[in-house]
Amino acid sequence: MTLESATTRTASAGAYPAGRRHWLLVQLGGLYGLWLREVKRAVRDRGQLIGGISRPILWVLILGIGLNPYFRGEVYGEVTFVVPFTYLQFIFPAVIALNIMFTSVQSAVSVIWDREFGFLREVMVSPLSRATVLLGKILGGTTVAVLHGCLVLILARFADVPLTVFDVLNALGLMAMLAFALTCLGVVIANRIRTFEGFGVFSNAIILPLYFTSSSIFPLDPALSRAQTRIAYPDWLVTIVELNPLTYAVDALRGALINYNQFPPWMGVSIMAGAGVVLFAVALYDFRRA
C-alpha cells in the first residue's frame, strides 16, 4: 500500500464520524425548529387558547358541580357511595384528558395547512428526514396539548383535589404519553383526510365517542364483579368501555391525581406507550407515502 492511498483511507475514516455528527446536528436543529414553529403557532392562536380555558371551566364548574349530588346519591338525604369521591373529584382527571384530546388531534390540522400552502413541500426537499419532520410536528402538538392539560391542573384546588409535587410530576408524564399518542392519531387522520372541513368533522366523530365511552363521566362500579357489572350496565356498553384504550389512560390519570384506579395501574402506562409507538409507525408510513 502506498503512502498516498493510506493517507486517503485515514482521512476518509476520520471524515465518516464527522459527517455523521454533522447529519445528526442538522436533524436535531431541524427537529427543534419544527417543534418551536408548532408551539409558536399554537400560542398565537387565540381560538385554541380560549377553547383550552373555557372547556375545563364548563366541565368542572358547571357539569361537575351540577351532577355532584346525583353522583353520590345525596338528593334524598341518603348517601350511597359509588366511588369514595365527589363527582367533581372523579371527573377532574377526565377533563384533563378531554383538553389534551381536543388539542392533540386539532394540532394535526397543521399537516393539512402546510400541505395546502406549500410549506410541507419545501421541508421535504431539505436535508431533514421525513421521520424528523414528522417527529418535530408531533412533539410540537404534544407540548401544546400538555400545556392545555396544565390549564386544568390550575383548577385542582377548586375541585378539592390535593396535589403533591410527586403527583403533578407523575401526572405530567402520563399527560405527555397520552398527548403524544393522540397527536399521532391526529396526524394519521390528517394524512388521509385532505380538507380542513373533512378533518374537523371526522376528528370530532372520533374524539367524542372515544371520550364518552372511556368511563370518563361515569364509573364502572369496582365493588361489582365482572358478571354483576354486565347485569347493572348494558353488555355492549361494558364491552366498548373495556376495549377503549382511552379508558385506561383516564384511569391512570385518576390513579395519579386522586389515587383511584378501576384497573391495574400498569395497564394505562402500557397501553398508552403501545398506542404511541403503533400510531407513530402508522403516521410515518403514511407520511412517507404522501
| CA–CA gap between residue 76 and residue 239 (Å, rounded) | 32
Domain ranges, ordered by start, for the chain: 3-289
Which pTM was predicted? 0.82
Identify which of 254, 265, 243 has the alpha carbon closest to the alpha carbon of residue 219.
254
Q: What is the pLDDT of residue 231?
A: 66
Q: What is the pLDDT of residue 74?
A: 45
Report pLDDT digits (tens) over 98-108: 899 988 888 87
Report pLDDT digits (tens) over 184-229: 998 888 888 877 667 777 777 888 888 888 888 777 665 555 666 6
CB 177 within 8 A of CB 272: yes
Q: Three cell numbers at 67?
A: 351532577
Report pLDDT digits (tens) over 85-100: 788 888 889 899 989 9
